[in-house]
């Protein structure tokens, strides 16, 4: 499957052109634009070869050629030139990140927003899920009669308002007991049995309605083991309407539907595994509906334990070089900035 240098150049030129115009590329256009010193006839011959090899597709006899999934794949693997992101954009990115570094959860949202503004495609990001964080502190605060806020501090804060029949005094005692028993433990290590043990202790030391106690323990357990409810954010979904591939409203609607369903997005983003930036082109995507899109995604880490994913969704003729460069930049800048601000645990 080795391609002659000339074929490579021609394929590259065709794909570059197609990425720009979204119109089938003819031989004349290539012979004129690129200075390969070849006539359109020669290019035509080469294009016929490239089509036979599976890199190009001719939508109809007598139309120009369009890259096939394999063509894009070859392009991404070996043809694509490095894209240089402008200094201003980099500077802007840096300042945005610096401004948000104190709020990890927000950082990630911004990373997604930045990615979509750099690339002009739709992005999907997941907030870094904190894996098994150590419980630093548990707090119970009465915020109204019969209303208590439970606060669990790990590296982040989870809180939940509970409507529970308890008074100030019992509330304070309970907080003390919870702290004594739970702080310092990993959230994942806390089993329902453990909670039941604590419940027994509480039962002995405090006077509470049994019902209230059970309720509280349920809340505590739920809050601690809460699945962090991996937050997912979609940015710039509307960009889909911009490219001619989706001028068909029906199609666009199906994509939007897909993007509004968090379950889909979760699956989409969870399938990213490796450390490097990865593209899935057309049929390489697992989802039927994305088969004429491409997705480019990566894992990035926020410090030692947390990690998040970011995916860019665009038409197959996306500007891969730019997207790769953008993700790379974001990942590096986040690393840099966190390396600077965080000193391990």
Task: Please pick, from the candidates 48, 53, 101, 212, the single residue that binds a copy of itself as defined by CB under 8 A.
Answer: 101
Which of a copy of itself, DNA, none sits in contact with 144, Cβ below 5 to 8 A by type?
a copy of itself
DSSP 292-343: TEEEEEEEEEETTTEEEEEEEEEETT--HHHHHHHHHHHHHHHHHHHHHH--
User: x-or-dash pattern for DNA, window 16-55, by CB under 7 A?
Assistant: -------xxxxxxx-------xxxxxx-xx-xx--x----
- 78's CB contacts (< 8 A; 6+ apart) are 8
Q: CB pairs under 8 A, 24+ apart, for 73-78?
A: 73/281, 73/284, 74/3, 74/11, 75/11, 75/12, 75/15, 75/320, 76/279, 76/281, 76/320, 78/8
Contact call for residue 179 and a copy of itself (CB under 8 A): no
Contact segment (CB under 7 A) with DNA among 60-68, 81-89, 265-273, 330-338 equals: 60-68
Contact call for residue 99 and a copy of itself (CB under 8 A): no
Contact segment (CB under 8 A) with a copy of itself among 38-46, 137-145, 191-199, 270-278 equals: 137-145
> Judged by CB under 8 A, how many residues of this single chain contact a copy of itself?
45
Of the two residues 65 and 316, which places its CB atom closer to DNA in the complex? 65
Which of a copy of itself, DNA, none sits in contact with 51, Cβ below 5 to 8 A by type?
DNA
With the C-alpha atoms ordered 100, 85, 305, 337, is the resulting torsion angle positive or negative?
negative
Q: How far is the CB of 142 from a copy of itself (least distance, A)?
A: 7
Chain residues that interact with DNA, rule: CB under 7 A: 23-29, 37-42, 44-45, 47-48, 51, 58-65
């Amino acid at each position: 499957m080795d391609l002659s240098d000339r074929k490579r150049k021609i394929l590259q030129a065709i794909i570059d052109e197609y990425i720009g115009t979204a119109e089938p590329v003819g031989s004349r256009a290539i012979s004129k634009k690129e200075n390969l010193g070849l006539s359109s006839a020669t290019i035509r011959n080469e294009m016929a070869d490239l089509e036979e090899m599976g890199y190009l597709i001719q939508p109809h006899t007598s139309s120009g050629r369009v890259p096939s999934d394999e063509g894009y794949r070859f392009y991404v693997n070996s043809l694509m030139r490095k894209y240089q992101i402008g200094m201003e954009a980099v500077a802007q990115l840096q300042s945005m990140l610096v401004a948000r570094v104190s709020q990890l959860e927000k950082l990630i949202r911004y990373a997604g927003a930045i990615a979509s503004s750099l690339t002009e495609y739709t992005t999907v990001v997941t907030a870094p899920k904190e894996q098994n964080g150590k419980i630093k502190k548990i707090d119970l605060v009465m915020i109204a009669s019969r209303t208590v806020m439970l606060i669990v501090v790990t590296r982040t804060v989870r809180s939940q308002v509970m409507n529970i029949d308890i008074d100030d005094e019992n509330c304070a005692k309970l907080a003390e007991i919870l702290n004594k028993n739970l702080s310092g433990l990993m959230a994942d290590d806390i089993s329902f049995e453990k909670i039941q043990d604590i419940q027994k202790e509480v039962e002995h030391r405090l006077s509470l309605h049994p019902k209230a106690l059970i309720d509280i323990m349920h809340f505590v357990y739920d809050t601690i083991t809460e699945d962090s409810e991996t937050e997912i954010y979609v940015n710039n979904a509307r960009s889909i309407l911009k490219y001619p591939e989706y001028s068909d409203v029906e199609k666009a609607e199906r994509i939007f539907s897909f993007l509004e369903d968090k379950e889909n997005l979760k699956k989409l983003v969870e399938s990213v595994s490796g450390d490097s930036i990865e593209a899935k082109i057309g049929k390489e995507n697992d989802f039927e509906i994305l088969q004429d899109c491409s997705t480019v995604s990566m894992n990035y880490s926020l410090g030692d334990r947390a990690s998040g994913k970011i995916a860019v969704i665009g038409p197959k003729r996306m500007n891969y070089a730019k997207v790769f460069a953008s993700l790379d930049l974001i990942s590096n800048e986040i690393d840099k900035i966190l390396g600077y601000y965080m000193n391990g645990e």
